[in-house]
């Protein structure tokens, strides 16, 4: 029987590697910029055409490469950072796998010009699908100039899976933002189809944040700093009132490398506990500096996932740093600084976060009791008064007659409708009592209304007497342009008003709120839905606006509003569930009610 196992050709092996490393144009952008950073560049320029599908060009003023290094850089696993396996645990560079350029060149028309500072001439390489077409000397600037053209030209299936230009451009913008935040001391520039998107000058981190996300962040940032024998944390957190409904503006960097880590994200959000509305997420840009021997960055091809050898300790220090920043800048109830222990000290001594919290609670309780005993001897107030709770332990329920109530407080006898705890609508039915979730029900009503409205070319709009300018981040602006027609169909009217800004001149009829508040809120809710639900654009927009405009749980409703919600719900095509799948009502069957009273 003939042998059947053989080695893959390099061209195919490179394409397989490219599938892991280069998933979309943004992946190539990330790898190229990281190489420039490792080369010591202080000025990085990125030019993109058609969201990177036809051209990604990166020009830097880094160290450049010799003729031999330029050729070797296109070989798989060729790297200047690794000599032994131990080097993997001492990494402080961005790239190290030696797959980036080889993978990109395997799926594109690749061109590179590079020159070292001391060399008179540089090297010009042209590669197509891993095949080197030419290598010649060239006169060029110091540094490296790489052009990636026609990405995935030789893998049509992968190219067909790319999204629309606005979507792909948002991914590029996201990668660019992360790298620019991680290196504020470096100048970055991004152009898309000849339009200047970012022109970032070397600056402090706070200035870089404002340059990327807008001037509205100038008054929203609070510095965050903590240092232990294990790690050092620096960066900024946003004020609670600046929190949004999406996770997009949350950044954690470890040794200047952006990472995704739900455990550490939880540490930050738990420090904000009690300060944010449900479903809102704070802004933060946090940098963790740690000895590379305590982490493993070689977990995922994109290098955005890492492992800590003591994740619980890192969690505790991050939580402490954010909590202290909130207290120091009067963004939260002050931290008790009179305690004889603190989280940082305990972590250095090997004490867990849970033990620390228990000690704090115990100390706080003891001090509270001591204060009460001192008051007992200083005053003539009976002891029973000092230790009496502010609220009675037992709640007495009184069922009052409706005779003395005003008309607004009486349930609607004709409909058998009334509001319960300002969350539910109770309705008598033939089979029992129907309990309706007022928010879920109203979202269903509005969702179907807005969905029907979008079937026309332009939804009904109420014109603004005083149009408002809304300035967005580059990625949010790209998203707004991507869904422009759907927004118009919904009833919004707006026009481009400068860089990353729109002038909102009209909003959908029947929706309350300012133009700026509605437009920004809709974009935020749209992104949140996009992250959590797989919905078509029109469904997503209808749901986003329905959630913004629906009555909320805890909101007192007038009798006519109660009636409108109920009638609207049962006129819907799908009244049983809210747009995201929550039940809108539950029927408490008459037989079930009777079972409580039968003997």
Domain ranges of the chain: 10-202, 213-351, 417-569
CB 174 within 8 A of CB 304: no
Report pLDDT for 397: 40
438 pLDDT band, cuts 50/70/90, is very high
Among 19-23, 509-513, 588-592, the range of highest mean pLDDT: 588-592
- State how far the Cα of 113 lies from the Cα of 123, in Å rounded to an integer: 6
- State how far the Cα of 599 lies from the Cα of 579, in Å rounded to an integer: 42
Higher pLDDT, residue 596 or 456 = 596
Higher pLDDT, residue 406 or 426 = 426
What percent of the chain has a predicted confidence (pLDDT) above 70? Answer: 77
Grouping H, G, I as helix, E, B as strand and the rest as coil, residue 401 is coil
Residue positions counted in the chain:
599
CB 163 within 8 A of CB 79: no
Average pLDDT of the residues in 264-282:
86
DSSP string, 385-396: HHT--SS-SSPP
Which CATH number is associated with domain 10-202?
Answer: 3.30.565.10
- State how far the Cα of 235 lies from the Cα of 174, in Å rounded to an integer: 19
Find, among 275, 293, 291, the residue nearest to 283 by Cα.
275
**pLDDT > 80? residue 448:** yes
Grouping H, G, I as helix, E, B as strand and the rest as coil, residue 514 is coil
R_g of the chain, CA atoms, integer Å:
30
∠ CA 499-504-505, rounded to 5°: 135
**What is the pTM assigned to this prediction?**
0.67
453 pLDDT band, cuts 50/70/90, is confident
Q: Pinpoint the alpha helices (H) of 341-483.
A: 343-348, 353-378, 383-386, 438-453, 474-482
Report pLDDT for 249: 85
Give me 115's structure tokens.
Answer: 């020159």
**pLDDT > 80? residue 526:** yes
Grouping H, G, I as helix, E, B as strand and the rest as coil, residue 138 is strand
Dump pLDDT digits (tens) for 177-215. Answer: 999 999 999 999 999 998 899 999 999 999 999 999 888
Report pLDDT for 328: 81
Paired strand residues for 288: 233, 254
Site of tokens 């997009």:
248
Dump pLDDT digits (tens) for 56-94. Answer: 999 999 999 999 999 988 886 555 554 455 555 555 555
Contact residues for 167 (Cβ-Cβ < 8 A; gap 6+):
51, 482
Report pLDDT for 236: 95
Q: Pinpoint the alpha helices (H) of 408-483.
A: 438-453, 474-482
Higher pLDDT, residue 130 or 105 = 105
Dump pLDDT digits (tens) for 243-260. Answer: 887 777 899 999 999 998
Which CATH number is associated with domain 213-351?
Answer: 3.30.230.10
Higher pLDDT, residue 67 or 298 = 67
Host H or E run for residue 567: helix 559-569
Site of tokens 């509305």:
277
Q: Which fold has domain 417-569?
A: Ribosomal Protein S8; Chain: A, domain 1 (3.30.1370)
Exposure string over 264-281, b if 16+ CB within 10 A, otherwise e:
bbebbbebbeebeeeebb
**pLDDT > 90? residue 454:** no
CB 249 within 8 A of CB 261: no
15 pLDDT band, cuts 50/70/90, is low
Report pLDDT for 396: 43
- DSSP state, residue 441: H
């Amino acid at each position: 029987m003939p042998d059947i196992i053989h080695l893959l050709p390099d061209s195919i092996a490179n394409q397989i590697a490219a599938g892991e490393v280069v998933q979309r144009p943004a992946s190539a952008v990330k790898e190229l910029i990281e190489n420039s950073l490792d080369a010591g560049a202080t000025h990085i320029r990125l030019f993109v055409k058609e969201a990177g599908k036809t051209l990604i060009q990166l020009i830097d003023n880094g160290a450049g490469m010799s003729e031999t290094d330029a050729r070797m850089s296109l070989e798989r696993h060729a790297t200047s950072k690794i000599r032994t396996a131990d080097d993997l645990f001492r990494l402080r560079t961005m790239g190290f796998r030696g797959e980036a350029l080889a993978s990109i060149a395997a799926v594109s028309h690749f061109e590179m010009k590079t020159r070292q500072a001391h060399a008179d001439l540089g090297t010009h390489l042209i590669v197509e699908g891993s095949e080197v077409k030419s290598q010649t000397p060239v006169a060029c600037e110091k540094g490296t100039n790489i052009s990636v053209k026609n990405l995935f030209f030789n893998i049509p299936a992968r190219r067909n899976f790319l999204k629309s230009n606005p979507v792909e451009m948002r991914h590029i913008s996201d990668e660019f933002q992360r790298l620019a935040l991680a290196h504020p001391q470096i100048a970055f520039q991004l152009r898309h189809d000849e339009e200047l998107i970012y022109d970032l000058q070397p600056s402090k981190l706070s200035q870089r944040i404002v340059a990327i996300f807008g001037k509205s962040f100038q008054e929203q940032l609070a510095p965050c700093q903590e240092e232990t024998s294990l790690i050092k944390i620096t960066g900024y957190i946003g004020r609670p009132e600046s929190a949004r409904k999406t996770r997009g503006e949350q950044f954690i960097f470890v040794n200047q490398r952006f990472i995704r880590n739900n455990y550490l994200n939880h540490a930050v959000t738990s420090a904000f506990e009690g300060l944010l509305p449900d479903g809102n997420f704070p802004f933060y840009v946090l940098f963790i500096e740690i000895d590379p021997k305590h982490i493993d960055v070689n977990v995922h091809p994109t290098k955005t996932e890492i492992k800590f050898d003591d994740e619980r300790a890192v969690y505790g220090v991050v939580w402490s740093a954010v909590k202290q920043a909130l207290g120091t800048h009067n963004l939260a109830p002050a931290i008790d600084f009179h305690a004889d222990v603190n989280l940082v000290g305990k972590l250095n001594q090997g004490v867990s976060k849970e033990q620390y919290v228990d000690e704090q609670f115990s100390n706080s309780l003891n001090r509270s009791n001591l204060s009460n005993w001192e008051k007992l001897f200083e005053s003539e107030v009976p002891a029973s008064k000092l230790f009496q709770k502010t609220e009675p332990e037992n709640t007495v329920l009184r069922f009052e007659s409706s005779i003395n109530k005003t008309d607004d407080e009486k349930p609607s006898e004709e409909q058998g409708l009334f509001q319960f705890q300002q969350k539910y609508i109770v309705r008598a039915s033939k089979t029992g009592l129907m309990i309706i979730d007022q928010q879920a029900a109203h979202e269903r009503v509005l969702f179907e209304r807005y969905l029907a409205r979008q079937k026309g070319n332009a939804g009904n709009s109420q014109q603004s007497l005083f149009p408002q300018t809304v300035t967005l981040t580059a990625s949010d602006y790209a998203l707004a342009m991507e869904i422009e027609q759907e927004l118009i169909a919904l009833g919004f009217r707006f026009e481009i008003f400068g860089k990353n800004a729109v002038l909102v001149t009209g909003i959908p009829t029947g929706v309350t709120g300012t133009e700026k508040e509605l437009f920004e809120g809709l974009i935020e809710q749209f992104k949140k839905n996009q992250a959590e639900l797989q919905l078509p654009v029109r469904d997503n927009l209808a749901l986003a606006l329905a959630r913004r405009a629906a009555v909320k749980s805890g909101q007192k409703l007038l009798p006519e509003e109660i009636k409108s919600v109920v009638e609207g719900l049962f006129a819907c095509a799908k009244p049983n569930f809210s747009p995201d799948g929550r039940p809108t009502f539950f029927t408490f069957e008459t037989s079930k009610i009777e079972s409580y009273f039968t003997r």
